[in-house]
Amino acid sequence: NAGVTQTPKFQVLKTGQSMTLQCAQDMNHEYMSWYRQDPGMGLRLIHYSVGAGITDQGEVPNGYNVSRSTTEDFPLRLLSAAPSQTSVYFCASSYGPQGSSGNTIYFGEGSWLTVV
Amino acid sequence: GIQVEQSPPDLILQEGANSTLRCNFSDSVNNLQWFHQNPWGQLINLFYIPSGTKQNGRLSATTVATERYSLLYISSSQTTDSGVYFCAGDMDSNYQLIWGAGTKLIIKP
């Protein structure tokens, strides 16, 4: 019963490098999303997906790409890392829309990313 | 833009105490939810509470949508209640949650 699995848990990048944060869920959820959490703040939505092949931008999408080729996987790509992208990243999934009734949101354990 | 304000920002209590956490919204909110983030970073969804009152064990939540606020009550606090409590709502019925900055709760044994 894995739930939502994120990798890696910790990563240090140099400015300008690219990387992919992996997210997988085994609950057959249609809705998946990526959030970032900066110190002393709540989560901010980066990108989300309502099903395989369908993605859309959230509140803070710049500098990030996503794709959803399968129901299970929703990777987040940092194209050219910047120090402003130092943050904790959370992947989340739910059966239905993540603001709606009855659709409990399940979160991964977080990925701590530092860009130097 | 829409503002989500949580108070107090920090709260330190002894085990067994009761507490009330508040969430204010600057505009009408849909689909208000409460979350708990434990000291190790794990997030869990506590309540979906767009209006009215719900209870789950020692925790209960009340939302007064017409007055744009929600309250989270924790009774008989335990050390495992420590962490950060967030409220979040969807402002435009687009299911994109806007989060408050959280209330950091520390329960001392």
pLDDT tens column, A78-94 = 999 999 999 999 999 99
What's the pLDDT score for residue B96?
82
DSSP state at residue B94: S
A68 against A99, higher pLDDT: A68
Q: What are the average pLDDT values for consecutive 10-residue runs of chain B, which has 109 residues? A: 90 97 90 94 93 96 94 97 94 79 97
Instruction: Give B88→chain A minimum CA distance, Å.
Output: 9
Q: Return the ∠ at Cα A78 (arms to A49 and B86), rounded to 5°.
A: 60
Identify the closest residue of chain B to A106 by CA–CA distance: B44
What's the pLDDT score for residue B93?
63
Per DSSP, the residues of B31-64 read EEEEEEE-TT--EEEEEE-SSEEEEETTEEEEEE
Q: Which residues pair with B53 in a beta bridge?
A: B62
Q: Residues of A with CB below 8 A from B8's CB?
A: none
pLDDT tens column, A47-87: 999 999 999 999 999 999 999 999 999 999 999 999 999 99
